[in-house]
Structure 1
Amino acid sequence: MAHFHDRALTRPTSFNFAVDVVDYWAAQSPPLQAMCWLSQDGRSQRALSYAHFQRQGHRIAVLLQRLGVEAGEKLLVILPRVPAWWELAVACLRSGVVLCPATTLLVGKDIEFRCQASQASVFVGDAASVQKFLKIRDNCPQVRTVIQVGGDASEGLVELGAALDTVPRDALFSGLKPDVRSPALIYFTSGTTGHPKMVQHNHISYPLAHTITGKHWLRLSPGKLYWNLSEQGWAKAAWSFFGAWNCGASLFVHDDRRPFSPTRLLDILHEHPITTLCAPPTAYRQLVLSESQDHFRKNPPHALSHCAGAGEPLNGEVIRLWKRMSGLQICDGYGQTETILICGNFEGAEVRPGSMGRPSPGVPLHVIDSNGDECPAGVEGDMGVLVKSEERDEAGFFGLFDGYLAPDGKLDKRIRSFVRPGHVAPKSWYLTGDRAIRDKDGYFWFVGRADDVINSSGYRIGPFEVESTLKQHPAVVESAVVASPDSSRGEVVKAFIVLTDEYAKKDVDGLVSELQNFCKENAAPYKYPRKIQFVDATFLPKTISGKIKRNELKRLEWKSGASKL
């Protein structure tokens, strides 16, 4: 029987990533490498085959079964870039346990919210994240099992290594294969009017559909070594995981927990046979600085042949500088936590610096107006994926999420339908929330977001979360948080803050640092406002119902801030 890798990507009736991808590549001869892992200090390196992840995936699935974890239950995992993350992921996909990744940057309150919202019954982390969890465990009674990876686990916890010692190396999970429509993954994203939303994917919407991402955008195949800089708590890491392994390529993973360093990145590219790099624009912006260019000339990449960028719009000048410096074109791409790559620059097509490229193969992406009709070339509109019309239905493209999962189990698919005069059936669209222009040749050009989410260095940050944290400080009466232009990060968090009378009399400079440190301690550090402006209450524009008009503040900020870049 022909394997799915040899056929056009179509919606299957049966598919499991662990069985149909990991086991498939594990059976190849000679054995294929799935991962090249590099320790924090760079002194230890491991080459791990697909057979390794096949074996460990079976063993961990058996262990979870022994611990009473059943298909459909949620497992929240907060781990750095260690092989155990991928071993757990394969085990969950094989057994039907729903994997809920989260970033190591979260503080206890963030973890508590995610555990409660997802109703996770299992928490998995390293020693650091487990300690964060234990401080709020009493508020998460639904978590029955806590698994620690490495370190000395305290009483009542399961240490993964020791627990696996009780599971035979040749153990096989014999449970039922999950249905393709059942939930497989939940990622958390940020909104503008509430807490982070849960993005649910089934067993094909990410695990299989990212074949498009890996094959066409990243141009991966057996023998390629792919390095993605994203940390495991973000959906971009899943893009790499599924995109690379669907294509039989190998992941390069550096367990780096330090702030980004362009010279360290260049050293790794020089020392290791990495063929493919995907980095956020904030990294490329630092790589083209003069000091980085000098380092590049002294330590050129060993095997790099393809570069990709995603996470935020990539400046055309950076693309030109990197091409002049390396001889390689950065192929920008666009997608979301809710989707696979839906637009990008692909092999054989002209790259137009500053453009997101054209729709991915098989993706019905369009720019539409407020009536649900396609905009003419050159006219700004909403980016939308067509999921249903008289001519086609959602059975074609399946790289979309199931919907936003509410704590009560209900799904909001965010599909908008437009009834057109004279037509029997409405047109239904998934609207990305971003606006763009399509040129006459079909290239998409990013305009901006239709919502208020801040995208700083690839991190999506909801203003509500930052405002809620600031409000906990006794100095703050109210605040409004918006994106502010930044030459290095694209945009950063800025807070307009109204102070209490008492604090308004204090040292302003000292208060800025105090509020920033307060946010770092009470929310994930990447969310803190890098810019703060103290204002009178009358400065904040509001609706008749009292809601702050963030869009007006953002327009003012970008009008004044862009001229300073």
Structure 2
Amino acid sequence: MNGTVVQIREEFLKKANLTKEEYERLTKWAEEDFEGFWDYFAKKEISWFEPYKKVLDDSNAPFFKFFEGGKLNMCYNCVDRHVTTRKKNRAAIIWESEQGETRILTYRELQYQINKFANVLKTLGVKKGDVVIIYMPMIPELPIAMLACTKIGAIHSVVFAGMSSVALKERIMDSKSSIVLTADGGFRGGKTIPLKENVDKAIEKLKFVKYVVVVRHADRDVPMKTLRDFWWQDLMSDPDYAKPYCEPEPMDSEDPLFIIYTSGSTAKPKGVVHTTAGYLLWRILTARWVFDLKEEDTFWSTANIGWISGHSYTLYGPLSIGSTTFIYEGTPLYPTPAQWWYLVDKYKINVMYTAPTAIRALMRRGEEWLKKYDLSSLRLLTTGGERLNEAAWLWYWEHVGGKRCPVIDAYGQTETAGHMISSLPIVPQKPGSVGIAVPGIFPDIVDENGNIIKEPNKTGYLVLKKPWPSMVRTLWQDDEGYKHYYWDKFNGKYYYTGDLAYKDKDGYFWMEGRADDVVNVSAHRIGCAEIESALTSCQFVAEAAVVGRPNDITGEEVFAFVVLKDGVDKTHHDEIVRKLRELVRDKVSPIAKPSEIVFVDALPKTRSGKVVRRILKAIASGKSIEQDISTLEDTLVIEKVKKAVEDRTSDIVGG
């Protein structure tokens, strides 16, 4: 249990949106008057067309409803209401591509573009409640399309533009969408992604898809099918299609806002359904409390809009409070590892949100890339989506934030649609911990029988004891699946996150990975994340992934895949292995020492940056890989990892 504590500077605390005293007041209020707490903020923060009649309806739990009977519109709250204020000429979206192309949309211009495309959708027959699939790169047309859907009451389902045609087809079939919005291509790491061709393959035999709207972006010559395929630019320049005014559709609080499919670490993607009012409210509150966002800030969430973090914090979060969001089409390492720091300097980014995977990748390249640019505009650094180990936390804080910016780690899921736990910018920071509960959220740690674990530092299941406004309402066309995955584990008493965690004596939460991401060695359940944290604390290690491999004596043994930092001499293999085993022994337990450590150049990850341990477990165990690998960032990594394991085995046998 690490004891490092970093204090937040007094200068930051004086200007923070949330104070320690206010946090304690809000937390107590939510405990004592749960409905009154949510009622106050819903009335204060949301512009309603009609007031709601009931704060919480739990009569059909676990199908909870919030702010029932209220009427509102997401686009109106994120864009239209700002246009009636002094914010109308403020930049809503600043965009740049890998090629250096730039575009700025003020709130007024954004509203104009949304209205036009909303009317295009209407002309193509899209109605309230219809599902629209969006398969686009990170270009301005993506948020325009999403907000246009919300304006007319259509349900958007964004599919990450790196997904294969197979994965896209699966999502189109599940949602039964009759329209797909895409682009001729996208850019990522210097490569062009053939998006239109992927769409053509995906819908080749899907007769229910009537229209494909294509943005000219990559200047590619792509096939266009007559009467089915239309250029975005042609439709938007047609006065009969793209009328400049569109009345926002009044939506019920519980009307579906979007479907988002989980990233593919499960065998079949689940269509998570989020609704309107509760999702909007939690965007506003977490933007203010977790990200400390102010209206005058320029906020950069590097999360792709295809994932929940991108929905929530690249788009809806900053716009809901009238801030400016920066959107970049590109990767952190192209054309050089200095690209992100160049952009921070150029646009004077104030608050930055990114994933631990990106931090570790940049950390691996060294600090010299940061020294070329002025990062003094940054005042807060945030991260989420996966566990941020202590070494990466400290690097982010020291080299990116200059030891003056707090580093906010946070915990949330696709299903929670926002951060539940966060190292809020009001309390001392503990590198490696995701912090404390956000006001209004009630997490705890329980054992296998659902009993709350009161003992500090004891690992158990992370659960949420009360519903919250932005929670998943169901799975698309699968109410039984919703109950099974999230509520059956503890007989409906708690929302089951599927994650392992523990609380320290100060009430800080520490994530230990997924409940199935454990190694059972001689009846000792050891979280993979804990071992990985020990391995990455080594100065030579950039990343590590741990799985359990069958062992006749102990049940399972620890098998570690390790990515070394650039420049590390691999000829000292045995010396590094010995050092790593000692670190695990000292930081975790002698039982947790890896039986095998294999050095690899990269780990198999989903396009959202999560390591797919099931693939590594199969490779370590010598089994065939049975799951769909089309959602991986790079499928070639699998063969390279296999070869590394085979070569290591040959070395051992030969020795």
Fold similarity call, TM over 0.5: yes
Contact 2:332–2:358 (Cα < 8 Å) also in 1: no
1:419-451 CA-partner distances (Å, limit 9, x unpaired)? 9xxxxxx86221111010011221001112113
Deviations 1:102-147 (A, max 9, x none): 1111222111111111111111100132221112323222211111
Specify which of 121, 124, 127 is matched with residue 181 of structure 2: 124
Aligned 8 A contact 1:367 1:375 in 2: yes
Partner of 1:89: 146
**TM-superposed deviation, 1:52:** 2.0
C-alpha distance in structure 1 between counterparts of 2:619 and 2:435, whole Å: 39
Residues 505-564 of structure 1, C-alpha deviations (whole Å, 9 max, x = no match): xxxxxxx9xx9xxx98x555445554544899xxxxxxxxxxxxxxxxxxxx9xxxxxxx
The alpha carbon displacement at 1:200 in A equals 1.1
1:378 maps to which residue?
457
Q: 1:312-461, aligned counterparts within 5 Å?
A: 312-325=386-399, 326-327=402-403, 328-339=405-416, 340-376=418-454, 377-387=456-466, 394=467, 397-406=468-477, 412-413=482-483, 414-416=485-487, 428-451=493-516
- What is the CA distance between 1:274 and its match in structure 2? 0.6
Matches within 5 A, 1:20-39: 20-31=77-88, 32-39=90-97
Q: Name the SS of the counterpart of 1:428 in structure 2.
A: coil
Q: Matched residues in 1 for 2:296 and 2:457: separation? A: 41
- Distance in structure 2 (CA, Å) of the matches to 1:257 and 1:323: 21
- Inter-CA distance 338–30: structure 2 relative to 1 (3 Å threshold): closer
Q: 1:71 to 1:46 in 2, by over 3 A?
A: same
Tell me the SS of whatever aligns to 2:287: helix
The residue aligned with 1:70 is 127
Q: 372, 377, 389: which is aligned to 1:298?
A: 372
- State the secondary structure of the residue aligned to 2:268: coil
Distance 1:418 1:137 in 2: 37
Q: Does 1:277 align with 2:349?
A: no
**d(CA) in 1 for partners of 2:370 and 2:295?**
28
Which whole-Å CA distance do the structure 1 matches of 2:294 and 2:133 have between them?
A: 31
1:365 maps to a residue whose letter is: P
Q: Distance in 2 between matches of 1:369 and 1:166?
A: 61
AA of the residue aligned to 1:196: P
Within the candidate set 166, 171, 186, 2:259 is matched to: 186
Q: Is 1:171 matched up with 2:244?
A: yes
Shift of 1:242: 1.7
C-alpha distance after superposition, 1:9-56 (max 9, x if no partner): 9754233211123111122215322111113222x3222112222222
| RMSD, matched Cα | 3.7
Take 2:97 and 2:643, find their aligned partners in 1: how far apart are those partners? Answer: 44
Listed as ranges, the matches of 1:487-506 within 5 Å are 491=611, 493-494=615-616, 496=618
Identity across matched positions, percent: 22
Provide closer, same or farther for how the CA distance between residues 21 and 8 of structure 1 changes in structure 2, counting only shifts above 3 A.
closer
**Distance in structure 1 (CA, Å) of the matches to 2:471 and 2:495:** 9
- 1:410 is displaced (CA, Å) by 6.5
Contact 1:111-1:133 at 8 Å conserved across structures: yes
Q: Which among 212, 227, 245 is matched to residue 285 of structure 2?
A: 212
* Cα distance between partner residues in 2 of 1:351 and 1:130: 46
Where 2:200 maps in the other structure, the secondary structure is helix
Contact 1:210 1:242 in 2 (8 A): yes
Tell me: CA distance 1:162–1:193, structure 2 relative to 1, closer, same or farther (3 Å): closer
Which residue in the other structure is 2:113 paired with? 56
Which segments of 5 or more consecutive residues in structure 2 lack a partner in the other structure? 1-39, 48-54, 56-65, 185-193, 519-527, 533-544, 548-558, 566-602, 604-609, 650-655
Deviations 1:435-492 (A, max 9, x none): 1001122100111211369999xxxx9x9xxxxxxxxxxxxxxxxxx99555677846
Of residues 152-161 and 82-91 in structure 1, the stretch that sits farther from structure 2 once superposed is 152-161
Q: Is the 8 A contact 2:397 2:407 kept in 1?
A: yes
1:294 is displaced (CA, Å) by 2.1
CA contact (8 A) 1:322 1:329 kept: no
Q: Which residue of 1 aligns with 2:202?
A: 136
- 1:108 matched to 2:165? The reply is yes
1:415 and 1:428 in contact (8 A); partners too: no
Q: Over residues 128-183 of structure 1, what are the superposed CA-to-partner deviations in whole Å (9 max), with x where a residue is unaligned?
A: 32221112323222211111111565533121111121247763324742222111
Report the counterpart of residue 544 of structure 1 in structure 2. none
Rounded to whole Å, the distance in 2 between the matches of 1:338 and 1:231 is: 17
How far residue 411 of structure 1 moved from its aligned partner, in angstroms, is 6.2
- Does the 8 Å contact 2:77/2:320 carry over to 1? no
Equivalent residues of 1:277, 1:307 under 8 A apart: yes
Q: Is the 8 A contact 2:263 2:631 kept in 1?
A: no
CA distance in 2: counterparts of 1:248 and 1:4, whole angstroms = 17
Which AA in structure 1 matches 2:421? C
Shift of 1:494: 2.2
The 3 A distance-change label for structure 1 pair 39 and 47 is same
1:228 is aligned with what amino acid?
S
Q: How many aligned residue pairs are there?
A: 482
SS in 2 for 1:200: strand
Distance 1:321 1:281 in 2: 11
Say whether residues 1:250 and 2:324 are aligned partners.
Answer: yes
Unaligned runs of 5+ in 1: 388-393, 420-425, 464-481, 505-511, 537-556, 558-565
Answer with 327-336 or 136-145: which moved more.
Answer: 136-145
Distance 1:400 1:171 in 2: 35
Aligned partner of residue 37 in structure 1, secondary structure: strand
- Matched to 1:386, the amino acid is K
Q: Counterparts of 1:175 and 1:243 in 2: how far apart (Å)?
A: 19
Report the TM-score, using the length of structure 2 for normalisation: 0.66
- Structure 1 segments of 4 or more deviating over 4 A? 2-11, 151-154, 190-193, 257-261, 408-411, 452-456, 482-493, 497-500
The 1:283–1:190 alpha-carbon spacing in structure 2 relative to 1, beyond 3 Å, is: closer
User: Match of 2:117, SS?
Assistant: helix
